[in-house]
Amino acid sequence: MKLNKIFVLLTFLAVLGTILGNLMYSWVLFTLTISSLALFVISSRVMPSRSVLLSISRGSEERKKEIYVNDELEITIFLKNEERRPVLIEVHDLLPSMVEVIEGSNRKVIKLEGNERKEMSYKISCPITGKIDIGPIKVRYRDPLDFFSKEVDFGEEMILRVLPQTQEMQSVDIHPSYTKHWLGDIKSKNIGIGSEFFSLREYHIGDEIRNINWKATAKHFEPFTNEYEGEKSGDVILVVDGYKKGMVGTERYNSLRVSIDAAASLASSILSARNRLGLIVSGEYMNWVYPGTGKNHYHKVMANLTQFEKGGSWDLEGVRMLLEDFFPRKSLIIFISPLTIMEFTETIIDLARKEYDVMVISPNPLKIEEELLGDYDKIAESFVRTERKNIIDRLWSTGTTVVDWNPNEPLEPALKEVLRYKEKM
Amino acid sequence: MHFFYWFFPLIFSIIPTVGFLRKKSSVIDYGMIITIVSYFLINEGLPLTVLNIIVIVGFLFLLVGIWFFARYLLLLDRIEDNSRKGSQDEDIISFTRSARMFAVRGIFTNTLLGAFLAIIASLMGSYSSLGRITPGRIEIFLMILFTFFLFLVIYKMISLMVSEEE
């Protein structure tokens, strides 16, 4: 419980009355002391009790929730006055600054009659990805004379994971050049397990009955079996550049945010093509996920994409070491970087020279600046543009596929165009 | 000259009025303290009668009531400003209505009860000992008793606050 300023001031008046009354032998000044004391006694009647007089809980019992960027989430809080007398309370559900309240309010003043139950709800949305803590619910009670105020934290914190918005990328076929033995969607040009018809051959003992071509068997009076084009899959590793010093844009819209969105879209597309997907996010810490498949793996990748912190404590040598020592060789490595840090570009070139199949998706930082600022220095722009063009040309010369992506537009067309160009080469 | 002193509370009451208009609660507080003290000092020489006690205590509680009400209006104004962010207008209107009614009723009841208690205590104090019946030593004894009681109440409030934090 907190004593407010008015209580201190009234105490001062009471003490002053006593001192002056003693000095001047005046009954008038003593009434000041008596009156102040009378007010203290009366106000103690309405003082908040020591025990909690309210019961406050969240509408949902789930402590962890997942939403996508810009999705709406309704938060409900139930309040009940356990006492007989009415109370006026301020309720404030603490929200981080990046969360937007789109309907209602997370801060309200509510009057509760004795044993009354009320509900408070509001809707939020979050424009950026990440892990968000909602709560605790802060409740403040004041007595009518404002002598005392009591602040209590209610309800457990709710953890909200805001996942990046994924784009549809069905028409883009991203596949590694080197395939592995396990089943996938990549046509291997060899006979194997698949769905596309390849040729006919004579029946051998052990062939599956369902693969027998009955039409050919009837024609030649001996059993024939269908052969199919093998469909395989490979390993794809996404490397997201989370270095703070190379980040371009504001807190809400920057190269890192668009990189994460692109990584999420690519992860969904790669995994749906039955490839194994690995992830490395280099920021304040190095987050990495060993290649795997399936729905659980997708959630693991998403969790790592949303939880990491931008920074730059880790050396780029760490990324290279991780790729060379822990991740499978002959994988397709997709770097998502604005290419603003020279060391990152050098690492990509170095890996491309080895036996890795490397692709770079680079959100154009100039387009981000253009979107945010509208107008900027043309000379500086031409310098940066030339520098960026040189880096991209250098990467192409080492056999790296580079997608120069305008983040204000969808990724799919840009990626499709580059892949088509690469096929023609 | 004493007639001139009667204007002191009126002059000092300008300070809390300005504080209220400028929405500065500390100006209201200090202005009200000066006004109350000046009001008591000009009444210092009054004879001890029941009527005088009632008038002095009654007028004091009128000032205290105005003081609390002004502070509460500012407090509600501040809460309202905070709640306005992202809230619907209907919420604000209903909140203001219920909060003001709640506050006015609370302030009125408490100050009225306080005034009643203060008058009873003053009458009991003055008629049992102060000045009229037994001057001298008992008067000093009661002064010490009042001071002790005052510090006891303050101590109880602070100890309550400390035990709450634990």
Whether A364 and A338 have beta carbons less than 8 Å apart is answered as yes
pLDDT tens per residue across span A246-277: 788 887 788 888 888 888 888 888 888 778 88
Q: Is A52 on the interface with B (CB under 8 A)?
A: no
CB atoms within 10 A of CB B90: 8
* Per-residue pLDDT reduced to its tens digit, B95-133: 666 666 777 777 888 888 888 888 877 776 666 655 544
Q: How many CA atoms lie within 13 A of A349 on its CB side?
A: 15
pLDDT digits (tens, 9 = 90+) for A145-194: 878 777 888 877 888 888 887 877 777 777 777 666 666 666 666 666 76
Question: Smallest Cβ distance to B121: which of A21, A38, A110?
Answer: A38
User: How many independent structural domains does chain B possess?
Assistant: 1
Which pLDDT belongs to residue B62? Answer: 92
The C-alpha angle B147, B152, B158, rounded to 5 degrees, equals: 130
Q: Which two tokens stand for residue A36?
A: 């102040």
The answer to whether domain A234-424 has CATH 3.40.50.410 is: yes
Chain segment A201-258, per-residue pLDDT in tens: 888 888 888 888 888 888 888 888 887 776 667 888 898 888 877 788 887 788 888 8
Domain parsing of chain A, residue ranges: 1-32, 54-163, 180-232, 234-424
The answer to whether domain A54-163 and domain A234-424 are alike in fold is no
Residue B34, classed as helix, strand or coil, is helix
Q: What share of chain B is helix, strand, coil (3-state, %, to 5)?
A: 85, 0, 15
Look up the pTM and report it.
Answer: 0.66
Q: Which of residues 66-95 of B touch A (CB under 8 A)?
A: 68, 71-72, 75, 79-80, 82-83, 85-88, 91, 95
C-alpha–C-alpha distance, residues B87 and B97, integer Å: 16
Q: Give me the DSSP letters along A211-242.
A: GB-HHHHHHHTS-EEEEEEEEEE-EEEEEEE-
What single DSSP character describes residue A245? Answer: G
Residue B47 contacts A, CB cutoff 8 Å: no
Q: Which amino acid is at A361?
A: I
Contacts of B44 in chain A (CB under 8 A): 24, 26, 28-29
DSSP class per residue in A299-358: HHHHHHHHH---B--S-HHHHHHHHHHTSPSS-EEEEE-----HHHHHHHHHHHHTT-EE
pLDDT at position B47? 83
**Computed from CA positions of residues A98, A102, A107, A113, in that sequence, does the dihedral angle turn out positive or negative?**
negative
- DSSP assigned state of A243: B
Q: How do residues B124-162 score in pLDDT, each as one tens digit?
A: 666 665 554 455 556 666 666 666 666 676 666 666 655
Confidence (pLDDT) at B15: 92
β-sheet with A224-233: strand ranges across: A180-191, A224-233, A197-202
Amino acid B133: pLDDT: 46
**DSSP of A61-127, one letter per residue?**
--SEEEEETT-EEEEEEEEEE-SSS-EEEEEEE---TT-EEEES-SEEEEEE-TT-EEEEEEEEE-S
A188 against B1, higher pLDDT: A188
Q: Which residue has the tokens 């009229």?
A: B132
Nearest-CA residue of chain A relative to B139?
A25
Confidence of residue B31 (pLDDT cuts 50, 70, 90): very high
Q: Which of B69, B74, B5 is nearest to B43 (CA)?
A: B5
Inter-residue contact A20 to B36 (CB < 8 Å)? no
Distance CA A8, CA B86 (A): 35
Q: Which of residues 358-417 of A touch B (CB under 8 A)?
A: none
| Strands A180-191 and A224-233, sheet pairing | antiparallel
Taking the C-alpha atoms of residue A101 and residue A98, their distance in angstroms, rounded to an integer, is 10
* Nearest residue, CB atoms, B150 vs list A26, A33, A106: A33
Question: Which residues of chain A fall below pLDDT 70?
Answer: 1, 45-53, 61, 178-192, 194, 230-232, 308-316, 425
Q: Which residues contact A46 (CB under 8 A, 6 or more apart)?
A: A85, A143, A144, A145, B106, B110
Task: Categorize the per-residue pLDDT at B30 as very low, low, confident or very high, splitting at 50, 70 and 90.
Answer: very high
Q: Which two tokens stand for residue A116?
A: 């009354």
How far, in Å, CA of A256 to CA of A165, rounded?
14
Structure tokens at A216: 């050919």
Q: Domain range for residue B114?
A: 2-165
Tell me the mean pLDDT in the region B75-88.
Answer: 68
* Per-window interface: A 129-148 vs B, CB < 8 A: 142-146
**What's chain B's average pLDDT?**
76
Q: State which amino acid sits at residue A32.
A: L
pLDDT at B28: 92
CA–CA dist A332, B131 (Å, integer): 101
| Structure confidence at residue B154 (pLDDT) | 66
CATH number of this structure's domain A54-163:
2.60.40.10
Residue located via tokens 């749906």: A272
